[in-house]
Chains A and B, each alone.
Chain A
Amino acid sequence: MLKFTSDQMSTLFSAISAMKTLYVPVEKGGEVTFGVWSETEKVRLDALKTVKSAKDLFFPQAETMMGFKMEGKNIEIQVPEEKMDEFVVFGVRACDAKSFEVLDNVFLAEPVDTYYALRRKSGIVICAACTRPEESCFCNVFGIDATAPAGDIVTWTVDGTLYWEAKTEKGEAFTAQLSEYLAEATAEEEAAVAAQNEAVKAIIAKLPYANLKVDGFTGDRMMEYFNSPKWAELYQACLGCGTCTFVCPTCQCYDIRDYDTGHGIQRYRCWDSCMYSEFTKMAGGQPRLTQLERFRQRFMHKLLYYPMNNNGLFSCVGCGRCVNKCPISMNIAKVIKALGDE
């Protein structure tokens, strides 16, 4: 384990940002989001959760896929460059780091989504272990250790000192570039990190959602859950807004549309929300006519459809953003409790 030798995070950030674009949690208009670091930004490493997750950096809410220009009978197709400079995102929590695995299964499976793949290849993920989990957190339910995130590099902050460990080849190569700022941690320091991690895990065990049971969500019971009478009660107050889906680190549905700019066509894609009335609307109409069906889709996808296609991996990472942000306080934890075997 290494440690950062200065207590000034800005020293580290300015060193990184001299090499690559660096994203960190910054405060913008009073809310914390991943933004490009600069001396003048208000960095908020203390924030447990950004409003939107780090997903945005790999799968942005809206992106132009290509453009078309017509001249006479010729159509010129403008495809964006398949080149990107490496970038670094610092401060990714364990839940968000796990969400990349969920997204990879979708976007990196054949046929590979080249837009996402390019960003994943170019991005170096530096995680920050949690020190102060809150009541809406339940990553442990999905087997995630908040103190041992899955990134290229993992950092722990104990008593104001930043400890550092490379976890992948990419992480090791980048660590080597920063060697002048890093030194070996002592055995005592490593013990202090381990002790803090144990203390954090003890806190997580006391949180209200720590004991949610998800074992019962298995493919053989799909229709039983699909037909459960409980959906009617659960969806009742749903406003049909997209808050849960847009703050979710694992929601990956998108829509592709053509936009007439007046001097060409811009084909863009943007996040879609299964909560919206025109979600997956086709020539034949809307497959989910009521909000009950749209609401059910979201949770069936997270707890059954996705795991059935991905070796049992749930597509919820227990970050709790939906718990915090739903305007009517309905969320996946309540759904798990209501439908589960408890």
Chain B
Amino acid sequence: MQGIIEKVTELLDNGTVDRVLAWKAGEFSYDRTPAVFDKESGLYGLVYDSFCVNNLSKYLIEESKKDGKVLVLMKPCDSYGLNMLIKEHRVDREKIYVLGVPCKCKVSVDKIKATGLTGILDIVEEGNDIKVTTVYGDTTLDRKDVLCDKCMVCKDKVVVVYDEKIESDETAGIEKLDRMAEVEALEAMTPDERFNFWRSQLSKCIRCNACRNVCPICSCTKCVFDNDNTGISSKANVDSFEENMFHIVRAYHVAGRCTDCGECSRVCPQNIPLHLLNRKFIKEMNELYGTYQAGTDAEAKDPLTAFTKEDAEPSVIYNR
């Protein structure tokens, strides 16, 4: 954290950058809000800790339209999203200074609360201990037990696009889970079971559009669901068909482009495991076209946008 503040201060002072996109500490010891800092505002409130979970890459669409250069603190998993935005010409790379920051996996306050803790007044992290003070008493949790789900299947700890990066050899010390295990569990269900699973999940949707708005890949200037002229509404599910289809349409639209950053599931107020739709596509593409990770670089063609005569025919392959 201190190293980050020093580096950011140096780059602001020597004029390399004009603004800094980072996280700001909130009212509680766990709420973090993305924020832009500059020389005038100072770096008061800038924080980088285990609760800085928001993916900042999407904010660069607007930030890089402004004058001057913006420095962004870039976690490893968010950097894949930035590469996709560069590849799809949605950000101006020249106006962005990427400062890669290390990540030893993020802590989920929802998981802390799921242990039964409530009325949280303070959370202090000491090594592997998460010390929680609440109005009902104090508890110490093991950090490994309250990590964000997406961190449990972390891709790696490499920032894939940066101008400079701050290194750290700290790790969460966890054994990573198999990223496709949840998808395989769904595949193992009977069609009826799977249908019922998705119906029970998708019927919770309140059409707040948080999943879409937070997604660095959902970057259309005007989403079809926001266009009055389409006759469909972004505000309510007119029927259960639309309730299902909104998320399925979105999953198709980001297929081959989704970096699996997990923000869609994190922001969902109803905790619908939306990432599983995307991950199913990733798994299929890996099987059909060879392993591919969207956002590893800003040049490679996506499996679904690059056509070669050798391409597999999914229906043929899966029938064999």
Binding site for B on A (CB under 8 A): 28-31, 33, 48, 51-52, 61-62, 132-135, 203, 206-209, 233, 236-237, 239-243, 245-247, 255, 257, 259-260, 268, 270-273, 276-278, 281, 325, 327-330, 333-334, 337
Report B-chain residues with C-beta under 8 Å of the C-beta of A132. Answer: 118-119, 136
Number of A-B contacts (CB under 8 A): 134
Partner of B226, one of A29, A255, A277: A277
B140 at the interface (CB under 8 A from A): no
Report whether A241 and B201 are in contact in the complex, using a CB–CB cutoff of 8 Å: no
Binding site for A on B (CB under 8 A): 26-28, 31-36, 54, 59, 118-121, 134-136, 200-201, 203-204, 206-210, 212-214, 226, 228, 231, 233-238, 266-267, 269-272
Report whether B266 and A208 are in contact in the complex, using a CB–CB cutoff of 8 Å: no
> Could you tell me the distance between the alpha carbons of A176 and B85 in the complex, rounded to whole angstroms?
65
With A207-B119, A242-B207 already in contact, the answer to whether A276 and B234 are too (CB < 8 A) is yes
Report whether B34 and A237 are in contact in the complex, using a CB–CB cutoff of 8 Å: yes
Report whether B214 and A327 are in contact in the complex, using a CB–CB cutoff of 8 Å: yes
Report whether B119 and A203 are in contact in the complex, using a CB–CB cutoff of 8 Å: yes
Report whether B213 and A239 are in contact in the complex, using a CB–CB cutoff of 8 Å: yes
Instruction: Give chain A's interface secondary structure class.
Output: loop
> Could you tell me the distance between the alpha carbons of A48 and B203 in the complex, rounded to whole angstroms?
22
> Could you tell me the distance between the alpha carbons of A52 and B207 in the complex, rounded to whole angstroms?
12
21 contacts between A and B (CB under 8 A): A28-B200, A28-B203, A29-B201, A33-B204, A51-B269, A62-B238, A135-B119, A203-B119, A206-B121, A208-B27, A208-B28, A237-B35, A239-B213, A242-B210, A243-B208, A246-B269, A247-B206, A259-B231, A270-B233, A278-B234, A329-B33
Report B-chain residues with C-beta under 8 Å of the C-beta of A268. Answer: 236, 238
B189 to chain A, nearest CB (A): 15
> Could you tell me the distance between the alpha carbons of A28 and B267 in the complex, rounded to whole angstroms?
18
Report B-chain residues with C-beta under 8 Å of the C-beta of A209. Answer: 27
Report A-chain residues with C-beta under 8 Å of the C-beta of B228. Answer: 278, 281
Report whether A62 and B237 are in contact in the complex, using a CB–CB cutoff of 8 Å: yes
CB closest chain-B residue, reference A272: B235
Nearest 4 A-B pairs (CB), nearest first?
A: A270-B236, A327-B267, A329-B31, A241-B210
> Could you tell me the distance between the alpha carbons of A270 and B233 in the complex, rounded to whole angstroms?
9
A328 to chain B, nearest CB (A): 5
